[in-house]
Structure 1
Amino acid sequence: MKLAQSILQGKRLTKEMLLNLYTDASVDTLDLLNEAYILRKHYYGKKVKLNMILNAKSGICPENCGYCGQSRDMKQKQRYALVPEEQILKGAEVAHKHDIGTYCIVMSGRGPSNKEIDHISKSVEEIKAKHPQLKICACLGLTNDEQAKKLKQAGVDRYNHNINTSENYHEEVVTTHTYKNRTDTIEIMKENHISPCSGVICGMGESNQDIIDMAFALKEIDADSIPINFLHPIKGTKFGDMDELTPMKCLRIIALFRIINPSKEIRIAGGREVNLRSLQPLALKAANSIFVGDYLITGGQPNKLDYKMIEDLGFEIDFGNH
């Protein structure tokens, strides 16, 4: 196939080429994964970045995202306001202790109040004073320029705001905010020199073209980190009965995202355990980053299994450039 070599030599791939490649049944998924591995190895060797989430505020959300157990349409048991500063600091200690390079502070809701920004900023300042090497990623929803400046000053390294799906399919997923609301937040972070993290959720009924469009949109946004989530259906949500993914389809999607965004951090995120199942290790041939521990309101596998998986592959934890 020699696709990876041509990309490393500067070949530009079009959406049409990638759609044909993705949908061509004669192109073996493992062959595609091998091409992705050449790119992953070129940029990241055999290193794997570890990330951990703190669900700092749960539920109490006015948005109607069709995949989310915290949306306004769900009667959620797990509801609480922004956690105390001590709890945020405790999470950072856990991340440090387990060799986790990126600590993600996540809040539900449309976006943070100024008071919540101050609370997060103060916590981040304390974390950075004690663990300057720990990368802090904030995921707080839609923000403005003033809030971004405060986060940057406090020491936030990265801001996650997923596009989730393609611009074309966005209204099928959520109607309480627009696709542009999301991309505007990412641009605000970039303007304030905060590293942009933006990804997707696959398996929500999107088309093959939508998947290609998502990967190219993130290339255009120039997201430094791209989390790929696979729908973990939650009963009662719009997509609660959806079942469109197989382990091989997930691998094909991850390979495609690496091929389109060859030098970027590609992270396997929510839903990997239930969708990739026994093929989880193969995903690291294309991805170079994973979440360890639990997600926002769905459980992950025990940390020790992730560490063992990395070791069994002959890969190693990336401690540098945090």
Structure 2
Amino acid sequence: MAEFFQLAEKVLKGKELSRSELLSVIECQDHNIWELVFAANSIREHFFGDGIHLCMIQNAKSGRCSEDCGFCAQSGYAHTNVPVYGFVGKDKILDFMECLGKDVHRFSVVTSGRRLLSKDIQELCLAFEAAPKERVGLCASLGTLSREDLKQLKQAGLTRYHHNLETAPSYFSSICATHSFEERVMTIRTAKDVGLEVCSGGIFGMGETFAQVLELALVLKELDVDAVPVNFFTPIPGTRLGHLPGPSPLQCLKIIAILRFVLPDKELIICGGREYHLKELHPLVFLAGASGIMTGNYLTTKGRNYDADRELLALMQLRPRPKGRADHALSECKNVVET
């Protein structure tokens, strides 16, 4: 127990963990998982206190994606009954925003496909210009966009762009062959270059090792992303990876803890698969280091009810993070990192 708390203390002093120390984290066995989890929680509490980030998403264009990502029900290579529809347009997006819970910090428009068409980007810009930006931060996940596309969206009110790396670079070709890991990194760099915050993480439990979880975490650290969505792979019949079971509850908690040790001051947002894989243990994501959750439905699967999540936070003596404050994790600190 002392070992993991000593590593957490080192992190809180702003020091980098050595490779051997990082290996000790990823080699943690199930019988020691609670010591690792509680140490990770001490890092979360230091940087985020009792404030929890809440976000919601809306699928605004579904199905018929040209990419072959093995986990995705919307891929044209999959054989699923996922709904198929084109970009929903400005009015529908504004309607979605009207239904957001009052404590939702960020709302993201998500579309299927390699990239959103230019005409649809123009329509989305109109929606963002008319959106109640004082009420909620605007995010989007629209694929591999150009610098000009991202600039237009930023001018319309977009403040954060979502683009998952999905998995470690050494495992990426096992998940997707129609585009490269480097292409995804380039989109992240472009979004940062135009002044957008970046939300980028992955899907865990697709057959990768814990060493590859660490590998992805270190790439995200090098890219200095602002928020990291953590999805736990949910097997969907008809997809190429639909036969995989996904992670166990304790594996989920370990993954969150690894990410918190590597990314101490970054937003860790638990998204898809939270209840499906963690089951009765899903409230423990916060103790493992999570500083945020996605509430409501996901893209093609059901999520957890917003009111139920609000009740859960209250029971755990946590609270939705106040609005009107900067999103970057460091501005939410209750404490200052010791130097």
Q: TM-score range by the shorter chain?
A: over 0.9
Partners of 1:46 and 1:15 lie apart in 2 by: 31
Superposed displacement of residue 109, structure 1:
0.2
Confirm or deny that 1:210 pairs with 2:212: yes
Identity of aligned residues (%): 35
Return closer, same or farther for 1:39/1:61 CA change in 2, 3 Å cut-off: same
Match of residue 92 from structure 2: 87
Code of the aligned partner of 2:293: I
Match of residue 167 from structure 1: 169
Code of the aligned partner of 1:89: L
Return closer, same or farther for 1:120/1:15 CA change in 2, 3 Å cut-off: farther
Partners of 1:48 and 1:310 lie apart in 2 by: 8
Larger deviation, residues 12-21 vs 29-38: 12-21
Confirm or deny that 1:78 pairs with 2:83: yes
Report the 3-state secondary structure (helix = DSSP H, G, I; strand = E; otherwise coil) of the residue aligned with 1:104.
strand
Match of residue 100 from structure 1: 104
2:56 aligns with one of 43, 52, 73: 52
Report the 3-state secondary structure (helix = DSSP H, G, I; strand = E; otherwise coil) of the residue aligned with 2:174.
helix
Is the contact made by 2:89 and 2:120 (CA closer than 8 Å) also made in structure 1? no
2:312 aligns with one of 309, 312, 316: 309
2:243 aligns with one of 241, 244, 262: 241
Match of residue 144 from structure 1: 146
Runs of 4+ in 1 over 3 A off after TM superposition: none
Matched length: 319
2:192 aligns with one of 155, 174, 190: 190
Report the 3-state secondary structure (helix = DSSP H, G, I; strand = E; otherwise coil) of the residue aligned with 2:170.
coil
Report the 3-state secondary structure (helix = DSSP H, G, I; strand = E; otherwise coil) of the residue aligned with 1:49.
strand
Superposed displacement of residue 244, structure 1:
4.1
Is the contact made by 2:68 and 2:75 (CA closer than 8 Å) also made in structure 1? yes
Q: TM-score, normalised by structure 1?
A: 0.96
Partners of 2:50 and 2:277 lie apart in 1 by: 23
Partners of 2:51 and 2:21 lie apart in 1 by: 30
Report the 3-state secondary structure (helix = DSSP H, G, I; strand = E; otherwise coil) of the residue aligned with 2:177.
coil
Report the 3-state secondary structure (helix = DSSP H, G, I; strand = E; otherwise coil) of the residue aligned with 2:110.
strand
Match of residue 68 from structure 2: 64
Partners of 1:26 and 1:119 lie apart in 2 by: 49
Superposed displacement of residue 27, structure 1:
6.8
Partners of 1:289 and 1:262 lie apart in 2 by: 13
Code of the aligned partner of 1:181: E
Match of residue 279 from structure 1: 281
Deviations for 1:7-26, whole angstroms, at most 9, x for unmatched residues?
11122113443123211327
Report the 3-state secondary structure (helix = DSSP H, G, I; strand = E; otherwise coil) of the residue aligned with 2:76.
coil
Structure 1 gaps, min length 5: none
Code of the aligned partner of 2:232: F
Return closer, same or farther for 1:77/1:228 CA change in 2, 3 Å cut-off: closer
Superposed displacement of residue 99, structure 1:
1.7
Match of residue 289 from structure 1: 292
